Structure formats: C-alpha cells, structure tokens
C-alpha cells in the first residue's frame, strides 16, 4: 500500500513538473506573469500542494520561475527566442524511415514542430574550414582558388592558410578536391542547415 502511494506521489510530481514546464516553454504562461499555486493545483485536477511545490522547486532551480516569499510565483523573464532552437537533421532514407523519424521526434516533450523540406523549395548550406599547406610560392594560387569559390582566407601561419567556405555540399567537395594536391592538414565540416524559401 505504501509503495503504491509513493509511486502515485512521484508520478504526480513528474506530471506537475512536465505540465508546468511545457506551458512555460510554450509561452502559455507569459514571461513575468504571476502564478497562483492554488489555481495551478486546480488546473491539474485539484492535486495536493506537495507534488506541486516539488515541481515548482525544480522549475525554480532550472531558472524558469522565481518564487517570491509572501508574493507568489512569477515566470522568469524569458522569451520564445530563449527557449526555442532549430535543429536540422538530414536523413538519407526512404519515405517510410523519414516518417518514423518524424514520429519519434514528435514524441519528445520539447519538440514544437517538425518540418520535412524534401518536397519544398529550400536552401541548404554547409560550412567548412580548411587548414592547407601554403608555402610562399603557392600562396597566391591558393588565395586565387579560394576567391573563385567565394571562400574567405581567415589567416594562418607562414607555411599554411585557414580557409572558410559556406556553400552546397557539391561545391565544398569540388573545392576540397582542388585543395587536395596542396595538402590539406585539417578540415572541419558542419552538417547541413536548411531553410524553406517560401
């Protein structure tokens, strides 16, 4: 009997925490809005104050709310921009696998929107940094080659150059192939980022 009660309390703590956090992150409770503990308990089906207070304490530790003694609770001054970020995933698979990935992403509590850009007009880009051997007699050639691709020379050492290029995967691979004979010491490449054009 006691074990079941403690499981229910734990479950209520977690439910209250997830409920409140989701509403704060979705800006349903606006930044700097005052909240009433009794009303929050009522919103959750008249749960007791103990699980609610545990949830509120955890949210305060995370900086999402501020507990003001003798005044109540206030949602921290965060904006939608503070709590949302974009993650771009490239999935090289058939339609069924892409659908499964989308369904799994929607199960995550803090995922607001999943957009498949496959059939939409969009722009894709990657960023790559190269450190290339560049003895004095070859430096001019390498800088000219970088200019042809719209790459930027970001410095280097007496015997090397650091080159930055933001472009499509195909153009990056072509540029890499042309730099190869000079000797690529290091290369760091991001994954794709994409943005719908409509």
d(C-alpha 82, C-alpha 85), whole Å:
8
The pLDDT confidence band at residue 92, using thresholds 50, 70 and 90, is confident
pLDDT digits (tens, 9 = 90+) for 152-163: 998 888 899 999
d(C-alpha 141, C-alpha 131), whole Å:
15
d(C-alpha 198, C-alpha 196), whole Å:
6
**128 vs 23, residue with greater confidence:** 128
- What 84-91 contacts at long range (C-beta under 8 Å, 24+ apart), as own/partner pairs, is 84/112, 88/191, 88/192, 88/193, 88/194, 90/191, 90/192
Confidence at residue 109, expressed as pLDDT on a 0 to 100 scale: 60
**Cβ–Cβ < 8 Å for 75, 81:** no
> Which range is least confidently modeled, 30-44, 101-115, 176-190?
101-115
d(C-alpha 180, C-alpha 53), whole Å:
61
Confidence at residue 7, expressed as pLDDT on a 0 to 100 scale: 47
Q: What is the mean pLDDT of residues 107-124?
A: 79
Confidence at residue 29, expressed as pLDDT on a 0 to 100 scale: 86
Asked if the model's pLDDT at residue 103 lies above 80, the reply is yes
User: What mean pLDDT value characterizes the chain?
Assistant: 85
The pLDDT confidence band at residue 182, using thresholds 50, 70 and 90, is very high
Q: What is the mean pLDDT of residues 75-90?
A: 68
Confidence at residue 70, expressed as pLDDT on a 0 to 100 scale: 80
Contacts of 141 (CB under 8 A, 6+ apart): 182
Asked if the model's pLDDT at residue 151 lies above 80, the reply is yes
d(C-alpha 136, C-alpha 57), whole Å:
62
Confidence at residue 3, expressed as pLDDT on a 0 to 100 scale: 45
pTM score of the predicted model: 0.51
Q: What is the mean pLDDT of residues 35-41?
A: 90
Confidence at residue 5, expressed as pLDDT on a 0 to 100 scale: 52
DSSP β-ladder status, 160-167 and 184-189:
unpaired
**145 vs 89, residue with greater confidence:** 145
The pLDDT confidence band at residue 31, using thresholds 50, 70 and 90, is confident
Asked if the model's pLDDT at residue 110 lies above 80, the reply is no
d(C-alpha 188, C-alpha 174), whole Å:
16
């Amino acid at each position: 009997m006691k074990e079941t009660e403690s499981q229910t309390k734990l479950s209520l703590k977690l439910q209250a925490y997830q409920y409140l956090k989701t509403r704060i992150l979705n800006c349903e409770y606006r930044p700097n809005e005052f909240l009433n503990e009794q009303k929050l308990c009522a919103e959750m089906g008249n749960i007791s104050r103990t699980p609610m207070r545990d949830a509120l304490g955890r949210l305060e530790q995370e900086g999402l709310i501020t507990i003001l003694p003798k005044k109540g609770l206030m949602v921290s001054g965060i904006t939608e921009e503070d709590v949302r970020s974009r993650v771009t995933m490239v999935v090289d698979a058939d339609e069924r696998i892409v659908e499964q990935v989308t369904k799994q992403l929607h199960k995550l509590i803090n995922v607001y929107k999943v957009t498949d850009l496959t059939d939409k007009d969009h722009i894709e880009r990657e960023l790559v940094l190269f450190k290339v051997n560049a003895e004095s007699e070859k430096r001019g050639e390498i800088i000219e080659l970088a200019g042809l691709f719209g790459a930027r020379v970001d410095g280097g050492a007496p015997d090397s150059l650091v080159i930055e290029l933001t472009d499509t995967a195909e153009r990056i691979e072509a540029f890499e192939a042309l730099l190869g004979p000079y000797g690529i010491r290091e290369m760091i490449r991001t994954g794709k980022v994409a943005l719908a054009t409509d």
